[in-house]
Structure 1
Amino acid sequence: MENENKFSTAKDIVEFLAEKFPKCFVVKGECKPLKIGLFNDLAERVCAETPELSKTRLRHALRFYTTRWNYLEAFKEGAARVDLDGNEVDTVTAEQVEYATKNLETSKSVFEQKKKSQNAGAKRKFVKKPFRKTDGEKSAEGAEKPARNRKFNGAARQNRNQNSGAYKGNSIGTESFEQIDITTVDVGSKVHVLCGGTKAVEATVIEMAKDVVGVELVTGMVIRVSPDRIGR
């Protein structure tokens, strides 16, 4: 069970491959184009030694790796392709550069559209509804304020207390907060965010920009923070 949890996501498998084949795979930074047909070599050398890692999951991880932006950006005409041991076995052709460039442009376009959609949704969430006066409320200047509804105020306080409990239950102390590499985070990732004070709050990434990350806290609040405040 422990080994299965170790490979629960494609990102986990890529980290494992980068550790096992450091001259071929990288977690972050500049990538090298991979040898065509590398999956067969990978399956032969990995699956036998690591039976809990199936060929299907290995294939998904390889696809995840080869569709990342930093991998597609590595395609330059004449650049060397490498095998699992880092040996140069082939070179990138002009046609392959064109294909990688188109995939990169498509991926970035989809990301931008998704980000715009999420931003629009976040703005709608914070639109204030106009205040509507009741029939019994006076509109003249100096009119009396309506009496407070004690039952409603009590319910409001109860909701605030409940929300406060939920907030604490999904937060960690700053001493347990661990900053993460922002390049390993994508829209939809679950993270913790330093929001001030002594707590880091659980959140979901909804926007990725150059110098800012948009997140939705477990409380429903949407905020934007600098990458150094994102962690686990």
Structure 2
Amino acid sequence: MENQPKLNSSKEVIAFLAERFPRCFSAEGEARPLKIGIFQDLVERVQGEMSLSKTQLRSALRLYTSSWRYLYGIKPGATRVDLDGNPCGELEEQHVEHARKQLEEAKARVQAQRAEKQAKKREANGEGEAPRRERKSRPTTPRRKEGAGNKPRAEKPAAKAARAAEPRHTPVTDLSVLKQGQSVKVKAGNNAMDATVQEVTKDGVRVQLTSGMSMIVRAEHLMF
């Protein structure tokens, strides 16, 4: 008895029970539902073996019955067994429902722990992103469409006065009235340049601009 090795963890105790009572406990795979009150049977059967105490047996039994593989085995139609594997009655519905809730809660805890661990890992790696601020859209001013109901823009007074002050020119319609040395205007786009008649020819009128350049101009480009 004194030379027996001591079991230090609940997992070691479970491994010992699976070897000692193979028809009741299992070290891997789906576990069979245990007889109600099996703790007292364990105390009586293994008392003094492997220097096990009641506290160690109770902790190991709690770990075993809260494992996922054991909770999976608590299902309708399953039969409880004693230490020797003898059937001890079917599971009650309330026990099946209780095991199902325990399993769901255990899975939820594991998922929450994984999510928290991943969040801390991303934060440690600097992968966390600050929430982006949404840009507020500025109200757009609708463009005024030209058409019915829209008044035309009023002309500025200065521009109107300048336009009114512009001299009125009379187009030349008869070349016979032109004489050498007479002052005329030559249209060049929207402008009128000062010129002097030099000669009236069959092709047009030769004029000299104030710049000194001479050129032949048709009658429709001349004004008084």
TM-score normalised to structure 1 length = 0.51
| Separation of aligned partners in 2, 1:46 and 1:23 | 16
**Partner of 2:69 in structure 1?**
70
CA RMSD of aligned residues (A): 1.8
**Partner of 1:95 in structure 2?**
94
TM-superposed CA distance for 1:2, in Å, is 7.3
Closer, same or farther: CA 97–127 of 1 in aligned 2, 3 Å: same
Instruction: Please give the residue correspondences for 1:113-132 in structure 2 after superposition, counting only pairs within 5 Å.
Output: 113-127=112-126
Q: Secondary structure at the match of 2:115?
A: helix
| Separation of aligned partners in 1, 2:114 and 2:49 | 41
The number of residues matched between the two structures is 126
**Which contiguous aligned blocks of 4+ residues in structure 1 show a shift greater than 6 angstroms?**
none
Closer, same or farther: CA 83–2 of 1 in aligned 2, 3 Å: closer
Bigger radius of gyration among the two: 2
**Partner of 2:80 in structure 1?**
81
TM-superposed CA distance for 1:37, in Å, is 0.5
Return the match for 1:3 from 2, 5, 16: 5
| Separation of aligned partners in 1, 2:97 and 2:5 | 39
**Partner of 1:207 in structure 2?**
none
TM-superposed CA distance for 1:111, in Å, is 1.1
Residues 16-44 of structure 1, C-alpha deviations (whole Å, 9 max, x = no match): 11010111111111210000000000111
| Separation of aligned partners in 1, 2:94 and 2:34 | 16
| Separation of aligned partners in 2, 1:67 and 1:100 | 9
**Partner of 1:214 in structure 2?**
none
Q: Secondary structure at the match of 1:90?
A: strand
Instruction: Please give the residue correspondences for 1:1-80 in structure 2 after superposition, counting only pairs within 5 Å.
Output: 3-4=5-6, 7-50=7-50, 52-80=51-79
Instruction: Please give the residue correspondences for 1:64-213 in structure 2 after superposition, counting only pairs within 5 Å.
Output: 64-127=63-126
TM-superposed CA distance for 1:53, in Å, is 1.1
| Separation of aligned partners in 2, 1:95 and 1:128 | 47
TM-superposed CA distance for 1:65, in Å, is 0.3
Structure 1 residues without counterparts, runs of 5 or longer: 130-232
Residues 199-220 of structure 1, C-alpha deviations (whole Å, 9 max, x = no match): xxxxxxxxxxxxxxxxxxxxxx
Q: What amino acid is aligned across from residue 58 of structure 1 in structure 2?
A: L
Report the identity percentage: 44
| Separation of aligned partners in 2, 1:12 and 1:123 | 37
